[in-house]
Structure 1
Amino acid sequence: MSLELLLLGATLAVVFYIWQRRAFGFWQRHGVKFIRPIPLLGCTREFLTARVPFFEQIQKFHEAPGFEKEPFVGVYMAYRPALVIRDLDLIKTVMIKKFQYFNNRVLQTDPHNDALGYNNLFFARSPAWRELRTTISPVFTTGKIKQMYPLMVKIGKNLEDSAERLGSGSSVQVKDLCARFTTDLIATIAFGLEANALQNASSEFFYHNKAIFAVTLRRAIDFAIIFMLPAFASLARVKLFSKETTKFIRSSINYVLAERERTGQKRNDLVDILLALKREAAANPQKLSTPVDLDYLVAQAAIFQTAGFETSSSTMTLTLYELARNEALQDRLRQEITDYFGDEEHISYERIQEMAYLSQVVNETLRKYPIVGYIERECSQPAEGERFTLEPFHNMELPHGMSIYMSTLAVHRDPQYWPEPDKFDPERFDPANRDKLNMDAYMPFGVGPRNCIGMRLGLLQSKLGLVHLLRNHRVHTCDQTVKKIEWAATSPVIASKHDIVLRLEKVSV
């Protein structure tokens, strides 16, 4: 018996050795320079052992010593070969010029058991994503955003009131305050609901928004599969949202949809768009490639809520952190706020769009801290016709299904494009310096047809929150303020490992 077990073990070891040599020989066989993998973990040991977040793992690939002159570098995501593109022209080719070969994301959840994750605009695959994008885009037109704006200003005033209640000289966990603001804002402009996160410390909406990004061991495994091994999504039954959060989102949106249908009220918001989609699907069931049921509608609302909550609150938080560390820049921004609004109670849409220095400050925050940190696409080669190759850099034809990654964090901090990249310098984006910038090296919202659909709305809510906070307050560093931001290793997006605490001071305009 022991001899049989020994032979079985030896056979399995030999099979594993041969399989691994074959799997890890992919880039060598194709003559592409690659980062050497280790058994089982490939090139992703630091991510899989929770030492670094995924976006930093991609940054490390981009910045790996010895590849500085290479347009791309081969890596292994566990056992799967993937390509990290470094050259800006090749990035533009993949994301824009040859987009027809790269219209799907790598990321996937379980298509059978995760309707809220799999069917939303961010994860949707071709051709469903294009139908969805066309349908949802009207929510984000300038006209629609202007219609929403009075609701946004109301939440901005609530943010001012919250800062007032905290009291001058208080130490504030800035991310918590900003996230409550974006929770309330998204709830009201997208769904017509009052989340009351700024007024109510135990807001249910806020609790579930935070839970989406809170990582337990099970959630960490889910995210690792979503990011790196999407082929196992169905086998592992991974879900984008936890069971509790899924239940809350589904019941909340179901209630809003039912009420809107019952009353016939129109608010020109996301709910109206979803109801129109539902009616169109009922009238023309063959027109859409994906069946439209309640979960399909809820999925769009869920990703809107998730993305709007996290990205803008992080942008605001990191902007305030940098302004607290650079008080001369804060003085200049506060002066612009005073020049534009003075004692005016209402912050108009047109005026906030004209604020040049505010735009420079936010642009520089997104340059230094691109919230997602990387871009990914999956290569889709056609069964017939011209296939995509890496020309003019290499004659290799990429395999169908190959994962492609680009590190926005690495590009945004590359000194060849951004001198003194670690310095927070809004002057980079002064219109007078426009000719010095390579804007191909600036992509905080992604690039090409699948860039962030909510870019304009996200920028506006970040700017509005900053104006409302800084018009009557200043932020300062204090003993609890971190000297340097370390990334939270288990966060799917850029986030500080430690709470960012600043001292809030009430000042007169």
Structure 2
Amino acid sequence: MSIELLFLLATLAIVFYIWQRRAFSFWQSRGVKFIRPVPLLGCTSQLLTGRTSFLEQIKKFHEAPGYENEPFVGVYLAYRPALVIRDLDLIKTVMVKKFQYFNNRVLQTDPHNDALGFNNLFFARSPAWKELRNKLSPVFTSGKIKQMYPLMVKIGKNLEDSADRLGSGSVVQIKDLCARFTTDLIATIAFGLEANALQIPKSEFFHHNKAVFAVSLSRAIDFAIIFMLPAFASLARVKVFSKDTTKFIRSSINFVLAERERTGLKRNDLIDILLAWRKEAAANPEKKHAANDLDYLVAQAAIFQTAGYETSSSTMTLTLYELAQKEELQDRLRQEIADFFGDEDHISYERIQEMPYLSQVVNETLRMYPIVGYAERECSQPVEGEKFTLSPYSNLELPHGMPVYVSALAIHRDPKYWPEPDKFDPERFAPENRDNINMDAYMPFGVGPRNCIGMRLGLLQSKLGLVHLLRKHRVHTCDQTTKTIELAAISPVIASKNDIALRLEKVSG
């Protein structure tokens, strides 16, 4: 080896050592307690080597030994400093009271490589986010959801029929069944399309919904970059929606938009909102309007479709798993269903909202398994020169662009807020026990103005699916049922590492 090469390598090693020392000195130099990083990988070695998921990584930061009494802890996402907030009052300050400093998410994708990912409501940055939220909110009002409800009931009956066709005693991969139900429901109420996932095993809608949240190493790497190191999203060419899925969604939504414009049909759904938005843009051609870009409209439909599919199907799946484990709770819920509906063919919107035990069961599922599992925000400066400080805990000023994380999964399993946190106990949410709950420690749909816009609809989907499935069926564990829910290490949301198999039993009442 030549002296010149040795000198070059030595120089590079010294430069790397100095850079790393500086990169990893951020928290120490500011007097903040932090989790010690390892070279190159920071505090995320398990995440970057595929041994844990991002939501579990944030949970581990929150629960790290030695920081139990700290309101926040500093970490390094690879080389990037970030803050994990543990204190509930500080969480409320960041997510709600001082939202003007934290109105953007950390995650983002490349607008040229992933138009549907970059432009949708979940990923959008201010001020575009605020306009999107205002435009889309009318879809999710109680009045609009009630108008959609008859269509939802029709899909609920299809779910009952599908369970009947499977036959009493059948062992079912329950997530597959629930995901087909939510695929059909979202396609119907949002777009006026029939996905037929419950009838057709190879439904295209179902295939593409499933692909977005596929549990694979390549998808895990994509989401790790999007969620943790978004500056590299363009370079790595990562996407929320694959090329095939983008093509399918774009084609489907463009078809529906064209048909609605041709026929003049109105259904008070998401498509009507998008069409009105496009007409508003067309009426003001001199004004640069995002709705003139068709992909901007398609992006909202895409996130509505995929997010609605995953969150509600996972909630249903995990509820059924817990009820199969504790059949006395299942008996109580089935009795409530019988008391409310008996042999009635129609499950009314008003009555399903009045079912106390059903609400308790779903709320407890979302406590144990908050589907996204964490919240994240990026610190910004709404007015130049103004910075956010961690007062009264610290005088530290957070720099522009600092990622801030909150682990809902850790807080939902913290015995300080939830006695016996690993026990599935719907009685926590009984009316007589509500005063014992610190509701600031319950955040299944996020926190603050950027919480889940579809919360009401998602809860109703899950409840309706559970009622239709359990009114004439029971679920039981079987030899193939996983003993405990172990989270998949390479999933962007809460998902079981193993398939959840349950045995269906047809019952008369």
Whether contact under 8 Å (2:216, 2:491) holds in the other structure is no
CA 1:327–1:218 in 2, change beyond 3 Å: closer, same or farther? Answer: closer
Deviation, 1:112, is 2.4
Q: Distance in 2 between the 1:284 and 1:116 partners?
A: 24
Whether contact under 8 Å (1:127, 1:289) holds in the other structure is no
Whether contact under 8 Å (1:222, 1:239) holds in the other structure is yes
Deviation, 1:215, is 4.3
Letter of the 2:390 counterpart: L
Letter of the 2:10 counterpart: A
CA 1:441–1:480 in 2, change beyond 3 Å: closer, same or farther? Answer: same
Deviation, 1:237, is 2.2
Whether contact under 8 Å (2:34, 2:73) holds in the other structure is yes
**Which deviates more from structure 2 when the two are superposed, residues 242-251 or residues 173-182?**
242-251
1:308-327 matched pairs, under 5 angstroms? 308-327=308-327
Whether contact under 8 Å (1:480, 1:501) holds in the other structure is yes
Q: Distance in 1 between the 2:287 and 2:189 partners?
A: 29
Q: Distance in 2 between the 1:473 and 1:442 partners?
A: 31
Q: Distance in 1 between the 2:143 and 2:375 partners?
A: 29
Q: Distance in 1 between the 2:173 and 2:353 partners?
A: 28
Letter of the 1:17 counterpart: Y
Q: Distance in 1 between the 2:299 and 2:344 partners?
A: 40
Q: Deviations over 1:198-225 (max 9, x none)?
A: 0111111111111111244443332111
**1:204 corresponds to 2:204:** yes
CA 1:192–1:291 in 2, change beyond 3 Å: closer, same or farther? Answer: closer
Who is 1:492 aligned against?
492
Q: Distance in 2 between the 1:47 and 1:505 partners?
A: 40
Deviation, 1:362, is 0.1
Question: What's the secondary structure of 2:292's corresponding residue?
Answer: coil
**1:37 corresponds to 2:37:** yes
Who is 2:328 aligned against?
328
Letter of the 2:226 counterpart: I
Deviation, 1:434, is 1.2
Deviation, 1:294, is 1.1
Whether contact under 8 Å (1:476, 1:504) holds in the other structure is yes
**Which deviates more from structure 2 when the two are superposed, residues 288-297 or residues 136-145?**
288-297
Q: Distance in 1 between the 2:204 and 2:112 partners?
A: 28
Letter of the 2:417 counterpart: Y
Who is 2:473 aligned against?
473
Who is 1:145 aligned against?
145
Who is 1:190 aligned against?
190
Deviation, 1:287, is 5.9
**1:247 corresponds to 2:247:** yes
Q: Deviations over 1:111-159 (max 9, x none)?
A: 2221100000000000000000000000001111011000000000000
CA 1:178–1:220 in 2, change beyond 3 Å: closer, same or farther? Answer: same
* Structure 2: stretches of 5+ with no match in the other structure: none
1:394-433 matched pairs, under 5 angstroms? 394-433=394-433
Whether contact under 8 Å (1:162, 1:198) holds in the other structure is yes
Q: Distance in 1 between the 2:340 and 2:287 partners?
A: 49
1:328-347 matched pairs, under 5 angstroms? 328-347=328-347
Question: What's the secondary structure of 2:474's corresponding residue?
Answer: strand
Q: Distance in 2 between the 1:397 and 1:432 partners?
A: 43
Q: Give the TM-score of the pair, scaled to structure 2.
A: 0.99
Deviation, 1:76, is 0.1
Deviation, 1:330, is 0.4
Q: Distance in 2 between the 1:250 and 1:494 partners?
A: 27
Who is 1:378 aligned against?
378
Whether contact under 8 Å (2:278, 2:291) holds in the other structure is no
Letter of the 1:159 counterpart: L
CA 1:286–1:47 in 2, change beyond 3 Å: closer, same or farther? Answer: farther
Deviation, 1:290, is 3.5
* Structure 1: stretches of 5+ with no match in the other structure: none
Whether contact under 8 Å (2:375, 2:405) holds in the other structure is yes
CA 1:26–1:286 in 2, change beyond 3 Å: closer, same or farther? Answer: farther
Who is 1:456 aligned against?
456
Q: Distance in 1 between the 2:253 and 2:313 partners?
A: 22
Q: Deviations over 1:469-501 (max 9, x none)?
A: 000000011111111111111110000010000
Whether contact under 8 Å (2:50, 2:489) holds in the other structure is yes
Whether contact under 8 Å (2:34, 2:75) holds in the other structure is yes
Who is 1:20 aligned against?
20
Q: Distance in 1 between the 2:74 and 2:438 partners?
A: 26
CA 1:286–1:54 in 2, change beyond 3 Å: closer, same or farther? Answer: farther
Whether contact under 8 Å (1:372, 1:494) holds in the other structure is yes
Who is 2:63 aligned against?
63
Who is 1:307 aligned against?
307
Who is 1:178 aligned against?
178
CA 1:478–1:209 in 2, change beyond 3 Å: closer, same or farther? Answer: same
CA 1:396–1:138 in 2, change beyond 3 Å: closer, same or farther? Answer: same
Who is 1:442 aligned against?
442
Whether contact under 8 Å (2:323, 2:475) holds in the other structure is yes
Q: Distance in 2 between the 1:33 and 1:286 partners?
A: 53
Deviation, 1:391, is 0.4
CA 1:396–1:26 in 2, change beyond 3 Å: closer, same or farther? Answer: same
Q: Distance in 1 between the 2:217 and 2:91 partners?
A: 34
Question: What's the secondary structure of 1:394's corresponding residue?
Answer: coil
Q: Percent identity?
A: 83
CA 1:287–1:19 in 2, change beyond 3 Å: closer, same or farther? Answer: same
Question: What's the secondary structure of 1:449's corresponding residue?
Answer: helix
Deviation, 1:285, is 4.6
Q: Distance in 1 between the 2:296 and 2:155 partners?
A: 29
